[in-house]
Amino acid sequence: MRYYSLFILISFVISINAEIPDIKKLWKKYDYNSSSSTMSIQKQNNNSKSKLDSAAELVKNGDYSKALKIYEGLLNKNVRSSHIHTAIGYCFEKMGNIENAIAFYTKAIGLTPVDPNAYNNLAYLTADRAATPDEVFPSIKLIDTALKYAKGNLKYNQTKLFILKKASLMDDWEDIALEILKKNPNINSINIELGEYYIKKGDYVQARLFLNRALPEKRAQQILATIPSQNNQKKESQNENKVDIKNDFVNSDEKSPSDDNMSENFKEFQQDYLVQIADEVKNKEDEKQKEKNNDVIVPNPSSTSPDIVRLRVNYEDSFDTGLDAYNNGNYSKAMEYFEDFINISKKNKNFSEKLLRALKYKGLILTKEGNSSKNIWGEIDFVESCVFVDKARKLKQSSSLEALRKHLLSGLSNSNLSALREIISQSLAVLEGYKKEKEDIELFYDIDFKIPQNITEVFPSKTAEYFTQGYKSLIEKKYTECEKYFKLSVNNSPSYFPGYYNLSVLSVKNSKLVDALTYIERSERYCMYNEPFYKDIRKLYNALNLYML
């Protein structure tokens, strides 16, 4: 009897362990689970399968009310079936009863948290009902969850396209559209949408490329007829050469030998790097305007380093030559020219989209050649935050408030800007009128005073003496005296950036943010990019500029 009891106990434990489901099959298990027993629908009712098939056929034929009756009958016997809840939700959606549809999709997710169909359908309805871009954001999380459990699903990716467009996140929309066309180049609707998108951007070469793919669709023909002819054929030829990088990603059917073993970073980088090709003439005009805005020349008292001057350097050719070399598979030459462009951009602290692209190409080449590219990713994140802040400042100065709002919205969804997300969120809330003033930012509490180390610039000994005395007063908590000595250090050497940085931190601690911004802008202006101190300065510069928008 004792052995028989032991056998029963072991059998029970084994049966419990045997029922632990695989996460990938979990939603299927729930689909056929009855609330009253663990028997499948088929075993519990021999007619269930035929009823499901009949209901599916009715849905296919558009007879949603009859299909709904069948599904409701099945639901009475299988109240925990996520599949049936999703099917009922779909019927309600097609019948125009959106409230009930959302309720059943939500219940399906509650029953089976890994059912991608329910997430996809709920994401679409949430976005479709949204009146403002802010109301669309919950649906982005829903569709990302659907794609997590059904990676690469075309239908779900098309839903994501719809959502991103509704949220006005057009850069992300472009990336996803191109990624879809890379695997499915003949989807006319997406080719036409991309054509319209590039026409709005003034990139007629790209527009023609995608609209021609959608021919002989009548809509594509009509849009092509509206594109103005270009008189300057030479300019068109140059732009077509620039398109090659995008064509390489979209059209390439060949895989490199290492594609199957690519790291996740590389795959993410490859997807992100479907680069926008801006109109060359407009770029030059923007650069000229930027040069006019940055015309201040600041003398550096050091005899061992050049003056800090926002030089007007024509180094566009380095980037374009590097791009051509990359497209032709000459990676060593491409790396040489990209490095040249990166170094000059850093020297002039010109944080542009092109610098970001050049760094990404550098990371891509390092990965392709099997070299370590770990350090490049941190630098890309840093430069991306600088590009974002500089653009936000420019939009604020030009009073383009709607463009600024969209720019800040895009920052909220950018994982590389997570350190600035709280500030972006508050600036956006004030801009849209949800808040009258910003709250205290936790990031500012964590800012520390810094002693300069390994500075390449040479400053007079008296300047260092003033700064040291100021830091000593800081340790002794004599803040008035501390501020006096820090100011003496920058008065003695007007380009002494460590003094300005610590004055900025002191102003932050005293809640004098206007003064803090003034000091950090001077510190950033005088500090060279290659100084170890520069990134600390620029991080505070970014945070204060976003907060003071």
The predicted model gives 358-372 an average pLDDT of 82
Q: How many CB atoms lie within 10 A of CB 212?
A: 12
pLDDT exceeds 60 at position 299: no
- Spatial separation of the C-alpha atoms in residues 291 and 255, rounded to whole Å: 42
Q: How does pLDDT run across 389-405, given as a tens digit for each residue?
A: 999 988 888 878 888 88
CB 175 within 8 A of CB 274: yes
Q: How does pLDDT run across 443-490, given as a tens digit for each residue?
A: 666 788 888 777 877 888 899 899 999 989 888 888 889 999 999 999
The predicted model gives 212-220 an average pLDDT of 81
Same domain, 244 and 211: yes
Q: What is the pLDDT of residue 451?
A: 83
- Spatial separation of the C-alpha atoms in residues 124 and 141, rounded to whole Å: 11
Q: How does pLDDT run across 170-185, given as a tens digit for each residue?
A: 888 888 888 888 888 8
Nearest to 380 by CA among 406, 353, 350: 353
CB 253 within 8 A of CB 182: no
The predicted model gives 265-284 an average pLDDT of 40
Q: What is the pLDDT of residue 442?
A: 61
Q: What is the pLDDT of residue 148?
A: 85
The domain containing residue 225 runs over which residues?
A: 169-250
The predicted model gives 340-361 an average pLDDT of 88
Same domain, 321 and 438: yes
Residue 96 belongs to some domain of the structure: no
Q: How many CB atoms lie within 10 A of CB 513?
A: 17
Residue 235 belongs to some domain of the structure: yes
Alpha helix stretches (DSSP H) within 61-169: 64-77, 82-94, 98-111, 116-129, 133-149, 154-166
Q: How many CB atoms lie within 10 A of CB 518?
A: 16
Same domain, 415 and 456: no
Cβ within 8 Å of residue 287, ≥6 positions away: none
Q: What is the pLDDT of residue 386?
A: 93
Same domain, 436 and 455: no
Confidence class for position 246, pLDDT limits 50, 70, 90: very low
Residue 295 belongs to some domain of the structure: no
Q: What number of CA atoms fall less than 13 Å from residue 165's CA on the CB side?
A: 16
- Spatial separation of the C-alpha atoms in residues 444 and 425, rounded to whole Å: 15
Confidence class for position 268, pLDDT limits 50, 70, 90: very low
* 241 vs 548, higher pLDDT: 548
The predicted model gives 242-257 an average pLDDT of 39
pLDDT exceeds 70 at position 540: yes
Nearest to 125 by CA among 88, 155, 96, 85: 96
Same domain, 199 and 209: yes
Q: What is the pLDDT of residue 449?
A: 87
Would you call 228 helix, strand, or coil by DSSP?
coil
pLDDT exceeds 50 at position 21: no
Supply the CATH number for residue 473's domain: 1.25.40.10
Confidence class for position 438, pLDDT limits 50, 70, 90: low
Q: What is the pLDDT of residue 286?
A: 54
Confidence class for position 501, pLDDT limits 50, 70, 90: very high
Q: How does pLDDT run across 74-96, given as a tens digit for each residue?
A: 887 777 888 888 899 999 988 88
Residue 377 belongs to some domain of the structure: yes
Q: What is the pLDDT of residue 289?
A: 53
Q: How does pLDDT run across 26-66, given as a tens digit for each residue?
A: 444 344 343 333 334 344 455 556 778 888 888 888 888 88
The predicted model gives 287-313 an average pLDDT of 40
Residue 104 belongs to some domain of the structure: no
Q: What is the pLDDT of residue 229?
A: 66
Q: What is the pLDDT of residue 445?
A: 65
Same domain, 242 and 321: no
Confidence class for position 505, pLDDT limits 50, 70, 90: very high
State in Å, rounded, how far the first CA of the chain is from the last one. 80
- Spatial separation of the C-alpha atoms in residues 319 and 325, rounded to whole Å: 10
Q: Which amino acid is at 133?
A: P
Q: Which amino acid is at 375?
A: N
Confidence class for position 387, pLDDT limits 50, 70, 90: very high
Q: What is the pLDDT of residue 271?
A: 40
Beta-bridge partners for 297: 309
Supply the CATH number for residue 387's domain: 1.25.40
Q: What is the pLDDT of residue 524?
A: 92
Most confidently modeled range among 37-46, 291-300, 435-444, 510-519:
510-519
Most confidently modeled range among 324-328, 497-501, 506-510, 531-535:
497-501
Same domain, 330 and 424: yes
Residue 532 belongs to some domain of the structure: yes
CA angle, corner 219, sides to 217 and 220, nearest 5? 65
Among 411, 443, 475, identify where a domain stops.
Answer: 443
The helix (H) or strand (E) run that includes residue 79 is none
Residue 277 belongs to some domain of the structure: no
Nearest to 112 by CA among 180, 209, 31: 31
CB 411 within 8 A of CB 398: no
pLDDT exceeds 80 at position 515: yes
Same domain, 321 and 439: yes
pLDDT exceeds 80 at position 278: no
Among 419, 443, 467, identify where a domain stops.
Answer: 443
Q: Provide the domain count of the chain.
A: 3
Q: What is the pLDDT of residue 165?
A: 87
